[in-house]
Amino acid sequence: MNAKPILVILGPTASGKTELAFRAARQIGGEIISADSRQIYRGMEIGTAKPPQWMLEEIRHHFIDEKEIGEPFSAGDFAEQAAERIRELRQRSITPIVAGGSTLYLEGLLKGFAELPPADPEIRARLTSELEHHGAEALYRRLEALDPEQAKTLDPTKTQRLIRSLEIIEISGEAVTTLQQKTSGPPSGIDFTVIGLDLPRELLYDRINRRTAAMMQAGLEAEARRLYDRFRDQWRSKQLNALDTVGYRELFEHFEGQHDLQTAETLIAQHTRNYAKRQLTFFRNRLNVEWVAAPLDEAGIDALVEEICRRVR
């Protein structure tokens, strides 16, 4: 008898993935594979919207609080290790549920990776020089002209991925999105069913705005200050990708005197909304997702949990 497909719950930030996965895992005695590239780091609790401690104690969440900030962990590492843990859980008759919103983590696990050309030091040095002289916006506009679909999935301020995208196009002569259609495939022996949580844009944005305010009330500024005091030199020299994250970046800039606290909070909400839009673009264009209406009340959550449990039992 073939094992049932592994259920994946994805969606934009603030769509309700965490609670839905938790309730389903609790009902079936399962464990959660967290597909979040920032929640894996210890010390980044409020800004990454980690599940509260009582949830983590009741249900095992893999890939949360497993790494120190600065410790390398890539999408490839996640895809490989997540597949291993899924197999281990199945051998113990425990049902895993994958939940998260990190686009590259999810794509790597569900589809594998494309064979992209290796870095070219000469091209990368030239692009880095262009970045320093002309700014990220000029490079982003170039990417929009060469590969608009790839540009839609990138944060223009994340210059590492921006430079890599342009480098790939120069080396291969093809759009990144064209190359990424040819992937290595999902892990052997594992099939996935992917559910995406969908809700009206205005409601999603309202949730994001309210969650940003709640994070500030919960102590995000103090959490960011502790990280800034510890890692400011590495952050300034762009050595810590983990801290180049919405919620921390804006507060670090506030600590550097670039804007006041209210502006930082406004920017966090704005940048989170932008991130949610990029997530949705990525999921719709790159992954095979069954979209369902995100539950808006307790009855809706209960009904969707029952449907999830029916599928994975």
Binding site listing for ATP: 11-18
CA-based nearest residue to 311, from 103, 4, 11, 55: 4
Q: What is the full DSSP assignment across 216-274?
A: HHHTHHHHHHHHHHHHHHHHHTT--GGGSSTTTHHHHHHHTTSS-HHHHHHHHHHHHHH
92 Cβ contact partners less than 8 Å away, ≥ 6 residues apart:
none
Cα separation, 250 vs 157, in Å, equals 12
Binding-site sequence positions = 11-18
Paired tokens of 103: 């686009």
Judge contact between 235 and 252, C-beta under 8 A.
yes
CA terminus-to-terminus distance, the chain: 14
Binding-site sequence positions for substrate = 13-18
